[in-house]
Each structure stands twice: as structure tokens, then as C-alpha cells.
């Protein structure tokens, strides 16, 4: 795939993922143009003055809730990466309609605007919380996934294709527990909701490279899931604050002990490759099951969860992931 001729738009482009995606894409792929689509002029200004002022960059103010604005922004665009979302679990629980308007209706607007604008590829970012959701955030992301995948039914006669990427917690991203533990460390006590809790982990760079790889390979209708390590949350706390007391405060509403990336039901149509899984649609009326020829089907009853993972990070392994954030925290530059 020749990125140098591509015009790329990223919704939520001023977020943790958006900035890292923009940086890596400029350094490694040099696309013709990258459009940062987001609703906050201050964050766009801060992104620009922080060094994101490349001649290929365009800053476009707009909200994914505004379909007409999306249509305007997507004029001449080849690839859309949909990263905009309300993702804080407590905020979504307290503001349910806002979560629905952004995460579900906003995704619907992205899908329809891309079809109207003749965009070739749309890749939406999802989360492990969309699998067997236990909170409103997960439920909205599950609905968003279904919207994206099933919209290939509308696009089958056009050039537009839709796929999703689904992965776990990104180390150090906004709302991550890493900045929280770093702040708590000074008090000599860190809070963990349940000592049994496990989570999937990957770095922001790994997430970005996975997304780029999936854009290059997508045919439409897939949910791409990377093979990533798990960690115990208490081990993460020990890696960040080895001398602090761990205070078990009890599981929060909508929180799971373990996260899943592939459910038992999805496993029936999932293909395993070396470094990822590809969840094919349960009913593929459009593009068939082309991934069957590239990997192997999962065994009956399989599910991919953070507690049954074969790949784990111990305390030393976690320290390598959090080292960059230790430095940012010391310099007062880590976003909470």
C-alpha cells in the first residue's frame, strides 16, 4: 500500500492515540495529508505548538455528532481512523445519553459520512470492554462495533470498506491507572479494587503500529485483535510503587475482574494468525471468509481473556512498559 498518495482523517486526533498515530505516520509512512478532526480548539492549538506543525497536517474543528461537518471534513479523504469516543467508565455511567450520542450516534455519522464521501477504508477503534459488556461504555462500544461491521452491507456496491480494531488497556493513556499509581506513590499507599484483577496491556506505539498494519490488510467486515500480554493489577502497583502499601478498596460498579478480547461465541468465526486474531462476521453477506485461507480456525469453546492468556508480564516486564511514563511524571508532563 502506497501511503504517500493517501489522505488520512483521524477523529479524536488530539487524544493520546491520535497524537502518537500522527507522529508515527508522519515519520514512517509520509502520507499526502493527515486531517486532525476534533472538537477542542485548545487541544488542537496545544498539539500544534508541541511540534505537530508538519506541512501535511490540517486541523479541522468538528464533532462526530455533527454529520454534515464530517461530510465536509471527509471530502477527498481515502482513509478514516475513528478514535473519537467518551471512554471514562464513571463519566459514561453518570452521563449515559452523552455516551450514546458520541460513541453510537457519532460512529453512525462517521460511517454514513464516509460512504457519502467515497472514503476507501474506515477503521474504528474499539476496546476489550465491548466483549460481554458490564458497563455503559462497553455497551456503546459494542453497538459501535456492530454499526461499523454491518455497514459493509450498505457499502458492498461501492469502494468503501469498514473494519474494527479491538485491544486492551493502553499503558499511560489518558484515564489509565498508571498516572494514578504514580501520583499515589508519594503518599505511601496505592489503591487497587481487587487483588485478583487482571488486564491486557500494550503500549501506545504497539497500538498505533497494529492499527497501521490492519489498515494495510483490511478487506472489510473484520474485527482485528492483537495478541498482547496480560498483567495482574497488583503487579503493576508493585512495579510502580514497590515500597507502598496496597490498599484493596473493592470492585467498582461496572468493573470486571478480568477482561475478554474474544468471546466464546465469536471464536466460532475467528481465525488465528501469528500475532493476531481476526474475528470474521457471523453472517458475511458481502465479502465472504477470505481470512480462513490465511490462518487457522479456533477450537470450539475457546475464549481469549486476560486471565487465561498464555503471555504474561511480571513486575520486571511491567517496569519496561512504564519507564517512559516515569520520566514524563518526573518532568511534570504526564497527562492524567
- The grid coordinates of residue 186 equal 508519594
Catalytic residue among 19, 20, 121, 129: 129
Distance from chain centroid for Cα 118: 24
- 138 close to 86: Cβ distance less than 8 angstroms: no
Respond yes or no: is residue 129 known to be catalytic: yes
Residues 203-209: contacts with CB within 8 Å, 24+ apart?
A: 203/170, 203/171, 203/172, 203/321, 204/16, 204/17, 204/20, 204/170, 204/171, 204/172, 204/173, 205/20, 205/24, 207/17, 207/20, 207/167, 207/170, 208/17, 208/20, 208/21, 208/24, 208/25, 209/24
Q: Alpha helices, DSSP H only, in the chain?
A: 16-28, 41-49, 67-73, 89-94, 96-99, 106-117, 136-150, 152-155, 177-185, 204-217, 233-240, 315-330
DSSP letter string, 195-255: TT-EEEEE-HHHHHHHHHHHHHH--SS-EEEE---EEEHHHHHHHH-TTSEEEE--PPTT-
What nine digits make up the cell of 191? Answer: 489503591
Active site residues: 129
Amino acid at each position: 500500500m502506497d501511503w504517500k498518495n493517501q489522505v488520512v482523517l483521524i477523529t479524536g486526533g488530539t487524544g493520546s492515540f491520535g497524537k502518537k498515530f500522527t507522529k508515527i505516520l508522519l515519520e514512517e509512512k509520509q502520507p499526502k495529508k493527515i486531517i486532525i478532526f476534533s472538537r477542542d480548539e485548545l487541544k488542537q492549538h496545544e498539539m500544534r505548538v508541541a511540534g505537530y506543525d508538519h506541512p501535511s497536517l490540517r486541523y479541522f474543528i468538528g464533532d462526530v455528532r455533527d454529520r454534515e461537518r464530517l461530510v465536509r471534513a471527509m471530502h477527498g479523504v481515502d482513509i478514516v481512523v475513528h478514535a473519537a469516543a467518551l471512554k471514562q467508565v464513571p463519566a459514561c455511567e453518570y452521563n449515559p445519553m452523552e455516551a450514546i450520542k458520541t460513541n453510537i450516534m457519532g460512529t453512525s455519522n462517521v460511517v454514513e459520512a464516509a460512504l457519502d464521501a467515497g472514503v476507501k477504508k474506515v477503521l474504528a477503534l474499539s476496546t476489550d470492554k465491548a466483549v460481554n459488556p458490564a458497563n455503559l461504555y462497553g455497551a456503546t462500544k459494542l453497538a459501535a462495533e456492530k454499526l461499523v461491521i454491518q455497514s459493509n452491507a450498505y457499502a458492498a456496491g461501492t469502494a468503501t470498506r469498514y473494519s474494527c480494531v479491538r485491544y486492551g488497556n493502553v499503558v499511560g493513556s489518558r484515564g489509565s491507572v498508571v498516572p494514578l499509581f504514580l501520583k499515589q506513590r508519594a503518599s505511601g499507599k496505592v489503591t487497587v479494587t481487587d487483588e485478583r484483577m487482571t488486564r491486557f496491556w500494550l503500549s501506545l506505539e504497539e497500538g498505533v503500529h497494529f492499527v497501521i498494519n490492519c489498515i494495510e490488510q483490511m478487506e472489510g467486515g473484520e474485527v482485528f485483535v492483537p495478541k498482547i500480554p496480560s498483567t495482574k493489577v497488583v503487579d503493576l502497583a508493585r512495579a510502580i510503587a514497590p515500597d507502598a502499601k496496597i490498599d484493596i478498596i473493592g470492585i467498582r460498579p461496572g468493573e470486571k475482574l478480568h477482561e475478554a478480547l474474544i468471546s466464546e461465541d465469536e471464536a466460532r468465526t475467528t481465525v488465528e494468525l501469528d500475532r493476531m486474531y481476526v474475528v470474521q462476521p457471523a453472517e458475511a453477506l458481502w465479502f465472504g471468509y477470505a481470512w480462513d485461507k490465511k490462518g487457522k480456525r479456533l477450537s470450539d469453546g475457546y475464549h481469549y481473556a486476560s486471565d487465561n492468556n498464555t503471555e504474561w508480564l511480571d513486575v520486571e516486564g511491567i517496569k519496561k512498559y512504564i519507564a517512559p511514563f516515569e520520566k514524563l511524571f518526573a518532568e511534570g508532563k504526564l497527562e492524567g
